[in-house]
């Protein structure tokens, strides 16, 4: 009995010592290993969460943008995202992710045509009002609807000063693989987030041949959009609301 107890005691002591030893080694290895995995993690492109080092934006030059260009943009958007052929929606039920808007200066009668879509605000009112946190802004400035959480209350549609959002009124089938859409949820321009994440440009930007629409990182001083914004006069629509939009216009 005594023997047995001492052996247990011994074992206990040993295991405690062992425990401390192993813990120390594991902790050491873990510290080094996390460093290694962290660096490799950052290096592996396309697998990391987006960060606020970038802010995606667009500059639309209404002097260069023709009406045909705008139609091309709308068509490209419809084709890319698969909206616009809702059979049972009528009138203002119809989806409109990007719209052709004509503005006329009353004093001079000057008419300019705009392509108006979600302006991807820095301070988005749609995100402020959303009761379920479905309306959200990604770290890189793209404003999206998380339709997993959207309850279809349409509060965001009322809050948006640009009328950029639409509501799906009917059951849909045959959606685009990269763009799930469904009845009872709100949708809007995603700045072709699925393409941007792959390093491509949004469909509407690709649809315009001239440099009337420039897409890029607003924060990157070497990007074309950043340099052009430094050089030319540009404005935000409803700049008085201080929303700091990602989509800028020049020539209006």
Partner 1 sequence: MKRLLIVFLTVFLTSVFAYADKHVNLGDRASELKEEGKSEDIHPDLKEIRIMHPNFLMHKRDKTLRQGIRTKRNSLKACVNCHSATDQNDEFMPIDQSGQFCSTCHQKVGTSLDCFSCHRNTPKEDL
Kindly state whether residue 147 participates in binding partner 1, applying the rule CB under 8 A: yes
| 47 binds partner 1 per the rule CB under 8 A | yes
In angstroms, the CA 153 to CA 155 distance is 6
Alpha helices, DSSP H, located in the chain? 2-43, 67-81, 125-129, 155-159, 193-196, 203-207, 224-231
Name which of 121 and 144 has its Cβ closer to partner 1.
144
| Number of residues near partner 1 (by CB under 8 A) | 29
Query: Residue 49, interface with partner 1 (CB under 8 A)?
Result: yes
Closer to partner 1 by Cβ: residue 178 or 201: 178
The reply to whether 174 sits near partner 1 by the rule CB under 8 A is: yes
Nearest approach, Cβ of residue 146 and partner 1 (Å): 6
Least Cβ distance, residue 148 to partner 1 (angstroms): 6
Binding status of residue 38 toward partner 1 by CB under 8 A: no
**Minimal distance, residue 143 CB to partner 1, in Å:** 12
Q: Contacting partner 1 (CB under 8 A), which of 38, 176, 239, 242?
A: 176
- Cβ(233)–Cβ(251) below 8 Å: no
Does residue 240 belong to the site contacting partner 1 (CB under 8 A)?
A: no
Helices (DSSP H) in 170-218: which residue ranges? 193-196, 203-207
d(CA 77, CA 207): 9
Whether 80 and 191 have beta carbons less than 8 Å apart is answered as no
Point out which residues pair with 215 in neighbouring strands: 58
Q: Which residues from 115-144 bind partner 1, rule CB under 8 A?
A: 136, 138-140, 144
Terminal-residue alpha carbon distance, the chain: 96
Using the minimum distance from each CB to partner 1, give the nearer residue, 67 or 146. Answer: 146
Q: How far apart, in whole angstroms, are the C-alpha atoms of residue 20 and residue 216?
A: 53
Q: Which residues bind partner 1 (CB under 8 A)?
A: 46-50, 136, 138-140, 144, 146-148, 171-172, 174-178, 180-183, 185, 193-194, 197-198
């Amino acid at each position: 009995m005594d023997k047995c107890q001492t052996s247990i005691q011994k074992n206990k002591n040993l295991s405690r010592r062992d425990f401390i030893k192993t813990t120390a080694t594991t902790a050491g290895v873990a510290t080094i290993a996390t460093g290694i995995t962290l660096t490799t993690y950052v290096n592996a492109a396309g697998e990391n969460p987006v960060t606020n080092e970038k802010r995606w934006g667009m500059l639309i030059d209404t002097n260069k943008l023709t009406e045909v260009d705008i139609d091309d943009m709308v068509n490209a958007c419809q084709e890319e995202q698969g909206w616009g052929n809702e059979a049972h929606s009528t009138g203002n039920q119809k989806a409109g992710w990007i719209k052709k808007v004509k503005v006329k200066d009353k004093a001079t009668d000057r008419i300019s045509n705009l392509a108006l879509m979600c302006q991807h605000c820095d301070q988005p009112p749609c995100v402020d009002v959303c009761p379920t946190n479905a309306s959200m802004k990604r770290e890189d400035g793209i404003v999206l609807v998380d339709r997993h959480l959207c309850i279809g209350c349409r509060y965001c549609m009322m809050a948006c000063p640009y009328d950029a959002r639409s509501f799906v009124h009917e059951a849909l089938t045959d959606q685009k693989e990269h763009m799930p859409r469904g009845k009872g949820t709100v949708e809007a321009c995603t700045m072709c987030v699925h393409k941007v994440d792959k390093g491509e440009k949004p469909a509407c930007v690709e649809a315009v041949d001239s440099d009337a629409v420039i897409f890029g990182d607003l924060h990157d001083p070497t990007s074309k959009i950043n340099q052009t914004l430094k050089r030319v006069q540009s404005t935000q629509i409803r700049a008085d609301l201080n929303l700091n939009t990602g989509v800028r216009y020049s020539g209006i």
